[in-house]
């Protein structure tokens, strides 16, 4: 099999289903549920939401906004059929177009430290293709993003912990040693990665559907996952946790089903001990627009998904700020984790179109008027800043992009340097 043809990492299943790219960010399971079921799924997080609205406030005065985009990056996606795969030639065209056009879109809009808005490309392990990863890694090493791990599993039949461990370890090492991606804690040890569950059912949290591994978070911890960025799933999804708008350590033991449903919020002055961290995006009620995007009297759901019906805007920015996702004791550093499906052709207007251009222009040019300092980060950089906040660091959060998790290559400002791989002892 030549490099121009699709390949798979040994041991990685090819039968997993793609995740949904609906405006609410829900996986396909929700479309088969009735209204009563959806309401029951929303019920657990609504009390938490009400409590947060009563007790949580955006700090008065200047704030630092740290943005990261978790891109569920699937060149093979077929929007109308999660089991299908686009023709290989179409996948190549999508990837080439993205790598060509995205830098043109974002290059002129820089944050306070001079960095552009990058994507963290969560590439699906079960769809691995060497040619695609070579091209994507080249794009990232040029300073336009970083690659992390995405996995759909357990859809046609429940997965096992043993198979999951093998898949993650093999794909982790492929990314690190063949493509120069991923990172290391303090530059040594096992390659570290961020994770997104393709079916949103992290740690078998969707009632046994689309996963099958109760101990998934333990497996993630054992294979070097520094943070999970799956949440929120969507307001009416069975895997949505009652804990929302938070950055926290999982409840223990990690081997239990859905151990991430509870956990201890991160706080300044206390080093986190349990990895992966759970880094959530915003989940809010938006009373300023209706579900179809028009201003109206009914509430819509804000969950950080970048879609054509709901593109980025200053109105949404206010909701992301109101979520006030931060490390306790460092309320002026607000973490805004968004998500998208950039390889889905139906989603292109939201990530490459005029709405994104308009948003970036307004975000950057009027930041000072809003008393905001903008920082564009990768998933890894966001977690580094989070860890710095836990250690009580102060000043410019952008100074901590490479705080603990070090890229195999140098940081974005020096990404043209030769590949440097530390002496590591790989486990798993």
pLDDT of residue 8: 35
At how many degrees (to 10) do helices 354-365 and 88-106 cross? 30
Two structure tokens written together for 132: 């695609």
At how many degrees (to 10) do helices 88-106 and 130-139 cross? 0
pLDDT of residue 43: 77
Phi, psi of 284 (to 5 degrees): -135, 160
pLDDT of residue 116: 97
Cα separation, 197 vs 27, in Å, equals 11
**pLDDT (tens place) for every residue of the chain, 428 residues total:** 333 333 333 333 333 333 443 433 334 444 445 556 666 777 789 999 999 999 998 888 999 999 999 999 999 999 999 889 999 999 999 999 999 999 999 999 999 999 999 999 999 999 999 999 999 999 999 999 999 999 999 999 999 999 999 999 999 999 999 999 999 999 899 999 999 999 999 999 998 899 999 999 999 999 999 999 999 997 788 999 999 999 999 988 999 999 999 999 999 999 999 999 999 999 999 988 754 444 445 688 999 999 999 999 999 999 999 999 999 999 999 999 999 999 999 999 999 999 999 999 999 999 999 999 999 999 999 999 999 999 999 999 999 999 999 998 765 653 333 333 333 333 33
Cα separation, 192 vs 185, in Å, equals 7
pLDDT of residue 33: 52
Domains of the chain, with CATH numbers?
28-56+63-410 (3.20.110)
pLDDT of residue 303: 95
pLDDT of residue 419: 38
Two structure tokens written together for 233: 């799933």
Do residues 272 and 235 lie in contact, with contact meaning Cβ atoms separated by under 8 Å? no
Residues near 333 by beta carbon (within 8 Å), at least 6 away in sequence? 63, 64, 66, 326, 327, 385, 389, 397
**Cβ atoms within 10 Å, residue 52:** 19
Handedness of CA 44, 50, 51, 52 (dihedral sign): positive
pLDDT of residue 83: 87
Pairing of the two strands 63-72 and 119-124: parallel
pLDDT of residue 42: 74
Residues near 156 by beta carbon (within 8 Å), at least 6 away in sequence? 15, 16, 17
Residues near 142 by beta carbon (within 8 Å), at least 6 away in sequence? 103, 415, 416
Cα separation, 183 vs 192, in Å, equals 5
Q: For residue 199, what are the CA distances in angstroms to 19, 150, 323, 351, 385?
A: 5, 10, 24, 22, 28
Q: For residue 348, what are the CA distances in angstroms to 66, 358, 412?
A: 23, 15, 25
pTM of the model: 0.88
Do residues 217 and 260 lie in contact, with contact meaning Cβ atoms separated by under 8 Å? yes
Q: Whats the size of the chain, residue-wise?
A: 428
Do residues 245 and 323 lie in contact, with contact meaning Cβ atoms separated by under 8 Å? yes
**158 CB burial (10 A radius; 0-12, 13-18, 19+):** middle
């Amino acid at each position: 099999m030549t490099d121009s043809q699709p390949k798979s990492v040994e041991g990685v299943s090819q039968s997993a289903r793609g995740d949904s790219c609906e405006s609410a960010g829900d996986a396909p399971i929700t479309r088969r549920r009735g209204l009563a079921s959806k309401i029951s799924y929303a019920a657990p997080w609504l009390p938490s939401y009400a409590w947060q609205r009563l007790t949580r406030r955006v700090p008065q005065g200047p704030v630092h906004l740290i943005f990261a985009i978790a891109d569920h990056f699937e060149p093979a996606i077929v929007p109308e059929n999660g089991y299908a795969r686009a023709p290989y030639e179409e996948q190549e065209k999508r990837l080439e177009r993205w790598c060509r056009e995205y830098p043109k879109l974002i290059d002129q809009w820089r944050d306070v430290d001079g960095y552009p808005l990058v994507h963290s490309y969560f590439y699906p392990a079960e769809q691995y293709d060497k040619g695609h990863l070579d091209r994507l890694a080249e794009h990232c090493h040029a300073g336009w993003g970083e690659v992390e791990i995405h996995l759909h599993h357990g859809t046609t039949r429940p997965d096992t912990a043993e198979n999951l461990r093998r898949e993650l370890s093999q794909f982790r090492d492929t990314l690190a040693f063949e493509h120069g991606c991923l990172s290391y804690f303090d530059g040594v040890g096992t390659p570290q990665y961020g994770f997104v569950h393709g079916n949103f059912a992290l740690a078998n949290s969707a009632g046994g559907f689309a996963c099958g591994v109760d101990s998934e978070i333990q497996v993630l911890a054992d294979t070097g996952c520094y943070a999970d960025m799956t949440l929120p799933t969507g307001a009416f999804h069975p895997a949505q946790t009652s804990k929302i708008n938070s950055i926290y350590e999982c409840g223990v033991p990690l081997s239990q089903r859905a151990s991430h449903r509870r956990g201890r919020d991160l706080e300044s002055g206390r080093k986190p001990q349990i990895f992966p961290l759970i880094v959530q995006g915003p989940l809010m009620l938006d009373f300023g627009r209706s579900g179809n995007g028009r201003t109206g009297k009914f509430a819509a759901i804000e969950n950080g998904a970048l879609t054509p019906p709901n593109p980025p805007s200053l109105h949404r920015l206010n909701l992301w700020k109101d979520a006030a996702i931060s490390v306790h004791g460092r309320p002026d550093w607000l973490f805004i984790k968004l998500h998208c499906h950039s390889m889905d052709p139906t989603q292109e207007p939201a990530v490459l179109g005029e709405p994104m251009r308009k948003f970036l222009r307004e975000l950057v040019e009027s930041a000072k008027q809003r008393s905001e300092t903008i920082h564009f980060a990768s998933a890894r950089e966001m977690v580094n800043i989070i860890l710095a906040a836990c250690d009580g660091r102060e000043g410019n959060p952008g100074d901590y992009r490479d705080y603990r998790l070090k890229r195999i290559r140098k940081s974005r400002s020096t990404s043209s340097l030769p590949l440097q791989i530390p002496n590591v002892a790989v486990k798993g």
